[in-house]
Structure 1
Amino acid sequence: MAQNNDLLKEIDTAKAAEVYQPSFKALQIVTGQSTKMPAKKDFLIDIAHRFGDVSEGFKSFFGLDHATTKLGVVYGLTDGIAVSASRHTYQKTFELGVKYRILKQQGNSPFEIVGYHVSDINSELSTDQYPDLRFNDRLAYFSQLLISRRFSENFSLQLSPSFVHKNLIDPAIEDKNLFSTGIGGRYKISRRVSLNAEYFLNFDDKTFYKNPLSVGMDIDTGGHIFQLVFTNSQPNTETGYLTNATGDWAQGHFFFGFNLYRVF
């Protein structure tokens, strides 16, 4: 009897392990992070571009003359913990991050929960602009709790409550602290292609910047995930895309770009 019970437990555990699949194929939904985690010892190169305002037309070759670029790396310390580092042309920012899984959508758990934290260093600031500039003024911090559910083979949805703190701001156009809630989803339309979308509602008292709205497409090439992006927020930095969205979809002002992750 005891042996039979042990065997049944092992079968149930094996079945639970077999059914686990991540809610998203890529580490990002569009611009924001997803609950997808790299595997242990995976080393990824992360390249992203956001070109200029498409509405400028042929004058700037539909924004291609005014790109912001990200070059970064991601490393899986374990199957549930990853670290990242990147350099951005936007504000010449250096970015360090950590991402960790709290819960899997597996067995009795209906959700996947992941924590994500980033520190940004704005190296573009200079004492010519700010004579009393200190290193601490260059820093900004970003935290997210990513909560996703894979409803079916084709459809996943995620909530992303977020918090941003900047040590140096212009109080006329932004707040030092920003709370935001994002919702994003993925719908698989073929074996290797999915359509993605996300929207962040920022809870602040300023109206200068827009709420980020992005749509995109995942293309699985086998060796890497290639993401096409259309968004009203040009920065690639975590603190930037959330707090500095200048485009207006209603007026045709948005930015085209892509994300590319390559596993080595």
Structure 2
Amino acid sequence: MNSAPIFLFAFLFPLFVSAQDDLLSQLQQEDSTGSHPVMATFKSTRVVNGQSIETMKKNHLDFRISHRFGRLNSGAYQLFGLDAATMRMGFEYGVTDRFEVGVGRSTSQKVYDFFGKYKLIQQSAGGVRNIPVSVTLFGGMNIATVNRELEFQDKLSYVAQVLIARKFGERLSLQLSPTYLYRSMPETTGDEKIVLAVGLGGRFKLSKRVSLNGEYFLTAREKNTPTAPYYDSMSFGVDIETGGHVFQLHFTNSLGMIEKQFIGETAGTWGKGDIHYGFNISRTFSFDKKNKIPK
């Protein structure tokens, strides 16, 4: 199966629709119904591991450092996983208020990832014609470089998602994430190249700057088989916002921090205590002094 057309559609489609951003914004301002956009459905571009519907503001750059430690059930000798760590560093830049691009590098499998996100629909409220949900399109490509003997095309994987979220009042936000994942060469011999999944994520706001987050990705394949010794990814955590910083502290059964890894290659299960402590640190820089970072 040739995956290039699928990836090109998922990744380049946002480039096409982003040209309509100014027109959409103008139409929203001229809407006579009195509706207003619903903001801050999530406080970060990630729910935990997975993408949220949020995109970076225009001319804002997000520098993100993520860590996942070893398994808690590794025992006291390994300091319950803290002796081992996997890391990802990444940058996300807002081309417009609706469209962002990103790049990152993970120590696990020495993966480089590239992606784009476009907010197609913005939830609105307070008027006659309200929009009930926000919809964001996400497309990405990963290059795993740990095995130098593989051909370049065998190192590639692609992911496409439709992120659909709704903010219910001031405290609760929920998101649905249908996902298509394609691996040119799966890590386990005999595993399927295509993984279909659906993610369910949520955020419950405890205070102005603190929230509880959780997510679960259900994959459409058999679990823990010789050809696919993997489980569904489940994660819970706390978001703490301090101005331009967002700290995300969480527990997850997934070691990897990109879709190829946490959706397609989660090797641990909560039932056996295969839980990793981890955190994301996000720092946003503004290159537009007229558009301050929202508090």
Q: Same fold (TM over 0.5)?
A: yes
Moved more, 149-158 or 51-60: 51-60
Structure 2, unaligned runs of 5 or more = 1-28, 286-295
Structure 2 equivalent of residue 58 of structure 1: 76
Structure 2 equivalent of residue 5 of structure 1: none
Does the 8 A contact of 1:45 with 1:262 survive in 2?
Answer: yes
Structure 2 equivalent of residue 6 of structure 1: none
Structure 2 equivalent of residue 115 of structure 1: 137
State how 1:84-103 maps to structure 2 within 5 Å: 84-103=102-121
Task: Quote how far apart the aligned CAs of 1:11 are.
Answer: 8.1
The counterpart of 1:224, out of the listed 245, 249, 268, is 245
Structure 1 equivalent of residue 165 of structure 2: 148
Which structure has the larger Rg over C-alpha atoms? Answer: 1
SS of the residue corresponding to residue 250 of structure 1 reads helix
Aligned residue type for 1:103: I
Does the 8 A contact of 1:175 with 1:205 survive in 2?
Answer: no
SS of the residue corresponding to residue 142 of structure 2 reads strand
Task: Quote how far apart the aligned CAs of 1:16 are.
Answer: 2.4
Say if 2:172 is the partner of 1:161: no
SS of the residue corresponding to residue 44 of structure 2 reads coil
SS of the residue corresponding to residue 62 of structure 1 reads helix
SS of the residue corresponding to residue 260 of structure 2 reads helix
Say if 2:234 is the partner of 1:213: yes
Within 2, Cα distance between the matches of 1:172 and 1:239?
Answer: 16
Within 2, Cα distance between the matches of 1:98 and 1:11?
Answer: 28
Distance 1:173 1:152, change over 3 A: farther
State how 1:30-109 maps to structure 2 within 5 Å: 30-107=48-125, 108-109=130-131
Say if 2:148 is the partner of 1:126: yes
Task: Quote how far apart the aligned CAs of 1:104 are.
Answer: 0.4
Aligned residue type for 2:270: W
Within 1, Cα distance between the matches of 2:40 and 2:132?
Answer: 12
Does the 8 A contact of 1:43 with 1:75 survive in 2?
Answer: yes
Say if 2:38 is the partner of 1:16: no
SS of the residue corresponding to residue 202 of structure 2 reads strand
Does the 8 A contact of 1:158 with 1:185 survive in 2?
Answer: yes
Distance 1:170 1:252, change over 3 A: closer
Within 2, Cα distance between the matches of 1:27 and 1:200?
Answer: 17
Distance 1:209 1:218, change over 3 A: same
Does the 8 A contact of 1:68 with 1:236 survive in 2?
Answer: no
Within 2, Cα distance between the matches of 1:113 and 1:228?
Answer: 26
Structure 1 equivalent of residue 207 of structure 2: 190
The counterpart of 2:153, out of the listed 136, 139, 153, is 136
Task: Quote how far apart the aligned CAs of 1:66 are.
Answer: 1.6
Task: Quote how far apart the aligned CAs of 1:154 are.
Answer: 0.2
Distance 1:52 1:173, change over 3 A: farther
Task: Quote how far apart the aligned CAs of 1:206 are.
Answer: 5.1
SS of the residue corresponding to residue 263 of structure 2 reads helix
Does the 8 A contact of 1:200 with 1:213 survive in 2?
Answer: yes
Within 2, Cα distance between the matches of 1:242 and 1:186?
Answer: 20
The CA RMSD measured in Å over matched residues stands at 1.6
Say if 2:283 is the partner of 1:262: yes
The list of structure 1 runs, each at least 4 consecutive aligned residues, that deviate by more than 3 angstroms after superposition, is 9-13, 170-173
Task: Quote how far apart the aligned CAs of 1:246 are.
Answer: 1.6
Aligned residue type for 2:140: V
Does the 8 A contact of 2:173 with 2:202 survive in 1?
Answer: yes
Within 1, Cα distance between the matches of 2:244 and 2:204?
Answer: 21
Task: Quote how far apart the aligned CAs of 1:83 are.
Answer: 0.2
Q: How many residues align?
A: 249
The counterpart of 2:265, out of the listed 244, 248, 251, is 244
Question: Equivalent pairs: percent with the same residue?
Answer: 39
Does the 8 A contact of 1:175 with 1:206 survive in 2?
Answer: no
Distance 1:250 1:102, change over 3 A: same
SS of the residue corresponding to residue 243 of structure 1 reads coil
Within 2, Cα distance between the matches of 1:189 and 1:102?
Answer: 29
Does the 8 A contact of 2:223 with 2:231 survive in 1?
Answer: no
Moved more, 206-215 or 138-147: 206-215
SS of the residue corresponding to residue 55 of structure 1 reads helix
Task: Quote how far apart the aligned CAs of 1:172 are.
Answer: 4.2
